[in-house]
Structure 1
C-alpha cells in the first residue's frame, strides 16, 4: 500500500456525540471552526518545520492533535505523536518522514470531513 492509499478514518461516534450535545447547527459550526483551525495550525507547523524550530513544531503538533482528537480524527493524533517521538529522539530523517505523513493525513482527513458535511452525513 502506498502512503497516499492510507485510509482516513473519522470517528463517527465522536461526531454523533458532538451533534447530540450541541445540536446539528452548532455542531456544524464547531466542526467548521475546528477544520479551519487545523488548517491554520498545520500551516504554522509547516513553517516551524521549514525553519528548523523543533520546540515550536512540537507545540504546534500537540495543539493540532488536541483539536483533531476533539473532532474524531484519531489517526492525526497518532501520527502527531509519532512526530513528537521523533523530535524527542532528535532524528531529523524520521521527523521529515513522519511530518510529511502528518501533512498527508491532515489533508486527507480534512477533505473527508468536508465531503461528509457537503453530503450531509
Structure 2
C-alpha cells in the first residue's frame, strides 16, 4: 500500500499539533463513515449516486495521503460508470481490503506530531 506521509506532516506543520490532530481525526472519521455508507449501498444494490460517493472517498483518501485507497476508489468508480459489473465486483473486493488495512494502519495517524 502506498501512503504519502508528507500529506499528514504538512498538515501538522501548517496547523500545529493540537489543531492538526483534530483535523486528521475528523477526516479519518469522515473517511470511515463514507466507506461504511458506500458499503451499505453496495450491499443493498443501490448504485444510484455511488459514483459520486466513490469520488468523495478518493478525495478524502488522497487528502490524507492514502494513495492506494484513493486509486482503488477511482478504479471502482470507473468500473461503475462503465457498467462493468464483473470488474466492479473484483475492484470492490479489493477496495474493502485496502480500506480495512488503511484505516487499521492509520488508527495512530492522528497521534503523530511532526
TM-score by length of 2: 0.89
Residue 42 of structure 1 pairs with residue 35 of structure 2: yes
Q: State the aligned residue count.
A: 114
Distance 1:31 1:118 in 2: 9
After superposing the two structures, state which structure 1 stretch, 20-29 or 48-57, moved more. 48-57
**Which of 51, 55, 79 is equivalent to 1:86?**
79
RMSD, aligned CA: 1.8
User: Which SS does the other structure have where 1:54 is aligned?
Assistant: coil
Unaligned runs of at least 5 residues, structure 1: 1-7
CA shift for structure 1 position 44: 0.6
Distance 2:27 2:111 in 1: 16
CA shift for structure 1 position 118: 5.6
Q: Which has the higher contact order (CA 8 A, sep 6+)?
A: 2
**Which of 72, 80, 100 is equivalent to 2:93?**
100
**Which of 5, 9, 12 is equivalent to 2:5?**
12
TM-score by length of 1: 0.84
Residue 77 of structure 1 pairs with residue 62 of structure 2: no
Is the alpha carbon distance of 1:79 and 1:70 closer, same or farther for their aligned partners in structure 2, counting shifts above 3 Å? same
CA shift for structure 1 position 54: 2.4
Partner of 2:45: 52
- Structure holding more helix per residue: 1
**Which of 18, 31, 37 is equivalent to 2:24?**
31
**Which of 107, 113, 116 is equivalent to 2:106?**
113
User: Which SS does the other structure have where 2:107 is aligned?
Assistant: helix
